[in-house]
Structure 1
Amino acid sequence: MNIDSMVGARVDDSLYKQGHRTYRVSKKDPNGLPHPKVVREVEHFCDQLEKRLDELLEDEQDEPLGEPLCEFGFSGRLKKRLNKHKTHTGSNYIMNLFEATLKLTFPEEDFGIEQYVLYIVPYRFLKAITEMFITRIGHGMVRFGGGFSHEPPGRSTRTKLSKKEWETALKVAQDHVDAEGNRKFYFAQMDEAKARLDAEIKAVEKKVDAQDEYQAEMDQLLGAMGPMGEEIDFEDLLTRLTETVEGLEEE
């Protein structure tokens, strides 16, 4: 079973051996051969995810990610779009390839992409903005190993905002968002996080200093005892010690 047959229609093995790849093709290439740009995007995703995993603590290695890999998008035909993601047709090829890889590598596990509806966008002109906003706060981009999105969010919503619509959005934001208050709150949070980190660093440094002092004392003690001779008759030493102890007992 090849990886391109894990989900959806099965790819003939002969085509697969010739280089056909379901998840790495150019729509303009009838032979389905890998497209250089797509290959670069997949490699970039792998590199970023590897860097993220390398930063995990040892006790986190076998645990689910605190923030799972994700992808956010908008669609006016929800069920149809979700089904395309599920069947790997006209979907995000990096996300699809990742899911297919899991199914091929871990057939006994139930790995798969879960789907959720997060928000109903009330106005047409908010489609692109909403997708950009949610992708940003959800860390859905390939960069830093956060998600599967490799193109700028909002581009595929087919929404071109007019100057008036942008001005309306700006006015709404200015009327309802306390930008200065948010900025102060953000920097206050950063200061608190920095203070906590500084305290943790000082605690670690204190622990290291204590260990260094202990090691120095041990080295000094061992040095005071002096080196032992290269050749020692331990049996003779034990005999003399035993005789000494017995002599003390007799006295």
Structure 2
Amino acid sequence: MYKILAADDEEDTRDTLCNCFPWESVGFTVVHQAGNGLEALSYLEANPVDVLLCDIRMPMMSGLELCKQIHQRRMGVRIVLLSAYRDFEYAREAMTYGVSHYMLKPAKYDDIVGVFTQLKTALDEAKDSLAAEAAEHGGALPGSGWGDPVISTIVKCVNTDYRTVTLQLVSETVEMNSSYVSVYFKKKTGMHFSEYVLKVRMEKAAELLKHGYMKAFEVSEAVGYANPKNFIRAFKQFHGITPGQFKNGR
């Protein structure tokens, strides 16, 4: 099930939409309800979701401002905006922030089915595409975050610059706070960022050792370890044998 965060300051409207529509039948589940944009943003900073279902007019932070924050932080959340106002300017501004769909309130049953069926198809296709890409570059990760463009960017960064990559580097690449990226990566993939970097380095080290022409200290440097002893220790913990034993086929 893909996760939905619903944000609307009208509690009755929000509860009806969240609890009366059969979300599971279209492949979604509502994991949280927020009464304003600030509350929704706070939840998103600590709890990655797949879709934000959001009213445009809310106190403290409007739906449009929330969309702008999500867009600027590249949170990788699909957005469906709800509004009781037939205002083209709202819709046009919303599209500049990558909003997926715009629905008028009260949302009709058939409209919700149509919009979220399209969203599920798009999420499924993105997930399958990124999973195939990840398998090609270091293997698939546990978890369900492959439909997320931020995770895809981080994975590409690690697989390209595994020798020198850091959490700060990928955070700057995706333009997010490093603490948030650390939490986000773990929640989306089921693996800590440092664990994924280790995985990529150790698999690359094994690949280099298989060729047989590089010594352990050379492989150590090639995958980002200045101290060969630290490399040997990490390799043995990951593969269960030392680099020398691996190279000799033991």
**Larger Cα-atom Rg:** 1
Q: Which has the higher contact order (CA 8 A, sep 6+)?
A: 1
- TM-score bracket, normalised by the shorter chain, equals under 0.3
TM-score by length of 2: 0.24
Between structures 1 and 2, the one with greater strand share? 2
TM-score when scaled to structure 1?
0.24
